[in-house]
Amino acid sequence: MSIIDEIRKDSFQAMKDGDDNKAGILKVAIAELKNEEIKRGDALSDDDVIKVLRTLVKSLSEAIEQFKAGGRQDLVDNNFAQVKALEVYLPQLMSREAIVDIVKAKANEIGAQGPQDTGRLMGIVMKEISKKADGSLVSEVVREILG
């Protein structure tokens, strides 16, 4: 079963169970996926679905930070539950330590010396681990390592 089919099935089940928060975010995810399909003019692969879901999770996570700053714990809890509902469909991301190991290995491999090599190193690392790691975390690690 594809990820989209799983989301649709789980959305229907959440509606039956009366879990409005989960049903709502899954409906949003389905709408985002449909919009992406229309934009591309073709069915989405599971990799494409994962990219769309990661974008949605990232925007929810950013909203959580804003709600925390605004003292709105109710909205923090709501968005956190929505993030957890979507993370079920995403593969586990690599740990920071694993990313550091890969970035160091690739930096040594290509002879990266400093900040001027950031773009080249990022390209090589992301080509290898793009589906397994958060790009902003990889970028942070690359900048730390290259100084």
| 7-37 pLDDT, tens digit each | 999 999 999 999 999 999 999 999 999 999 9
pLDDT tens digits, one per residue of 102-119: 988 988 888 888 888 888
Question: What class, spelled out in words, does domain 3-87 have in CATH?
Answer: mainly alpha
Question: Domain segments of the chain: what residues?
Answer: 3-87, 96-146
Q: What is the pLDDT of residues 46-94, one digit of tens each?
A: 888 998 999 999 999 999 999 999 999 999 999 999 999 999 998 888 8
Q: CA-CA distances (angstroms) from residue 103 to 8, 55, 107, 145?
A: 37, 23, 6, 8
Q: Which two tokens stand for residue 59?
A: 């925007």
- Considering the four listed CATH numbers 3.40.50.300, 1.20.58.100, 3.40.1390.30, 1.10.10.410, the one that applies to the domain covering 96-146 is 1.10.10.410
Distance CA 66, CA 3 (A): 30
Residue 62 pLDDT: 93
- The reply to whether domains 3-87 and 96-146 share a CATH topology is no
Quick: pLDDT tens for 115-132.
888 888 888 888 888 778
